[in-house]
Amino acid sequence: MQPAEQAPDTGVIRRVLVVDDSRVQRRILSVSLKREGYDVIEAASGQEALEICREGLPDLILSDWMMPGMSGLEFCAALRALPQDAYCYFILLTSKSEKAEVAQGFDAGADDFLTKPVNGYELRARISAGERILRMQHELTNKNRVIGDTLDELQRLYDSLDADLLAAKKLQQSLVPDRFRDFGQGAVSLLLQSSGHVGGDLVGHYRISDTRVGLYSIDVSGHGISSALITARLAGYLSSSSPEQNVAMQVYPDGSHEHLEPSEVVARLNEIILDEMETEHYFTMLLADVDLETGKIVMAQAGHPHPLIQRADGTTEQDGPGGLPVGLIPEAEFSQFELQMRPGDRLFMMSDGVTECPDTENGMLGEDGFEKMVDGLKDHPLDETLQAIVWQLDSFSGGQGFPDDISGILFEYRGA
C-alpha cells in the first residue's frame, strides 16, 4: 500500500473533493480515500465546495445530493457552468433510485451515482470507471493540443509562404513594367493576370529599331512557382533594356546589332530551354516583328493560340500555322508568316486562358466566342480593352475565377 499522502502513480485522479453536510460521512469517505493514496479535501456545503472549485478544480468530486442551502444537484450544475479547461468527474451520493431522479442528476452534469451507505468495493469500482474516462479525456486533450500546435505551426509556415508568394507576385508583375506604350505609329497594351499568386504567362515588347518593335506572348506549361521561374528567365532572354542580352538580337563586334527572324529566335529559345534550363517545362509562344512604318508584321507561332486581327471596319481574322511548343523536340524547326495591318486595325495575341475559359455548363469560350467578345469592344479605348475582356470573362465563367492564367497583347496600328 502506498503512503497516504500520495495518489497512485498510474492514476489520473489524484485530488478528490468530498462534499457532505455530515461531518461523520465526510470522515468515513476521507479516511477510505486517503488509505488508497488520494489527496482529499472536504467541504461541508455546496457553496463551500463551489468556492474550492473556483480556486482549483479537483480531479474527482464525491457529493451528497441532499444538503441544506445548495443541494448536490445545484452544486453540480453550478460547477459545470464554471469556465474550465480540464474535466472533473462528478459522483452523486444519494439514496434516490427512481429513474426520473437519476435522469435529473445526469442532466445537471453528474457522471455517476453511488447509493448510500457507500460500499468500499463499489466506491473503488466507480473511481476506476472515472479513471478510465478521465484518462481518455486527458489523452484526447493532449492529442488536441498536439494537433493545435501542429496547426499553429502550419499556419505560421503558410503565412510565411503566402508572404513569399506575394513578394514573388510583385516581382513577376515587375517583369511587365510598361502595360501601355505609345510608339507614335502604333500603341500596345499588355495584360498579365495569374490564376494564383504567380503564374506561367509572360507578355512584353522591346525596341528593334526606331521603326520596328518586337512583341511576345508566352505561356509556360503548368502553374505556380516553377513556371514563374521559367518566365523570369525568359524575360531576361527577351530584355527590352539590354539588346546585347536579348536572344532576338545578333550583336556584332562594332556594337551594332540586327534582329533575327522570329522563327530563328524561337529556335534559339528551343535550344536554350532544352540544353541550359534542365526543366521538364515547355511553353507556347507568339513572337511578332512589327514594322511601324509599313504595318507589316512577321510572326512566328509555336503552339500558341492563333493571333486575331480586328480590322478597322469591324471584321475579324484569326489564323496561323499553329506549330510545335518550345522545349519539346531538339532542333525543331519553326515557321513564320506575315500579316499586313492598315491604320485602325488591332492585333490580339492572347493566351489559351482566354479561349479555354470555362462557362457555367462545362463549356469553353473558344475562338468563335472570343471573336464575338472582341466585336463588342471595337470602339473601346485601347488602354481599357484588355481589362474589359477580363471582366467579360469573369461574367462568362459565372464569377468562379479563372483556372488558368490570363494574358495578352493588344496592338493598334495607326500608320504614319
pLDDT confidence of residue 10: 46
Domains of the chain plus CATH, in order, are 15-143 (3.40.50.2300), 174-413 (3.60.40.10)
Beta strand 60-64 with 15-19 is parallel
Which position has the grid cell 524561337? 266
Which set of grid coordinates corresponds to residue 2? 502506498
Q: Following DSSP, what letter does each residue of 189-235 receive, concatenated?
A: EEEEE-SSSS-SEEEEEEESSSSEEEEEEEEESS-SHHHHHHHHHHH
CB-CB neighbours of 44 under 10 Å: 16
**Pair 270, 282: CB distance under 8 Å:** no
pLDDT digits 0-9 by tens, 325-376: 999 999 999 999 999 999 999 999 999 999 999 988 888 999 999 999 999 8
Query: What's the rounded Cα separation, in Å, for the pair 41 and 267?
Result: 87
Residues near 359 by beta carbon (within 8 Å), at least 6 away in sequence: 365, 396, 397, 398
Burial of 337 (0-12, 13-18, 19+ CB in 10 A): middle
pLDDT confidence of residue 351: 93
Which set of grid coordinates corresponds to residue 281? 517545362
Residues near 340 by beta carbon (within 8 Å), at least 6 away in sequence: 295, 296, 297
Residue 328 DSSP symbol: S
Which set of grid coordinates corresponds to residue 1? 500500500
pLDDT confidence of residue 167: 64
**Pair 34, 40: CB distance under 8 Å:** yes
HEC profile of 284-302: EEEEEEEECCCCEEEEEEE
What average pLDDT does the structure give for the chain? 87
pLDDT confidence of residue 169: 64
**Pair 202, 234: CB distance under 8 Å:** yes
Q: Following DSSP, what letter does each residue of 3-56 receive, concatenated?
A: -TT---TT-S--EEEEE-S-HHHHHHHHHHHHHTT-EEEEESSHHHHHHHHHH-
3-class SS of residue 242: coil
| Cα distances (angstroms) measured from residue 174 to each of 32, 92, 244, 336, 388 | 78, 71, 21, 30, 22
pTM, two decimal places: 0.64
Q: Where are the beta strands (DSSP E) in 24-166?
A: 39-43, 60-64, 89-94, 112-115
Query: What's the rounded Cα separation, in Å, for the pair 252 and 244?
Result: 9
Which set of grid coordinates corresponds to residue 247? 536572344
Query: What's the rounded Cα separation, in Å, for the pair 3 and 251?
Result: 94
Query: Which segments of the chain have a pLDDT < 70?
Result: 1-11, 96-98, 161-162, 164-177, 197-198, 241, 243
**Pair 69, 49: CB distance under 8 Å:** no
Query: What's the rounded Cα separation, in Å, for the pair 184 and 211?
Result: 10
Query: What's the rounded Cα separation, in Å, for the pair 97 and 112?
Result: 12
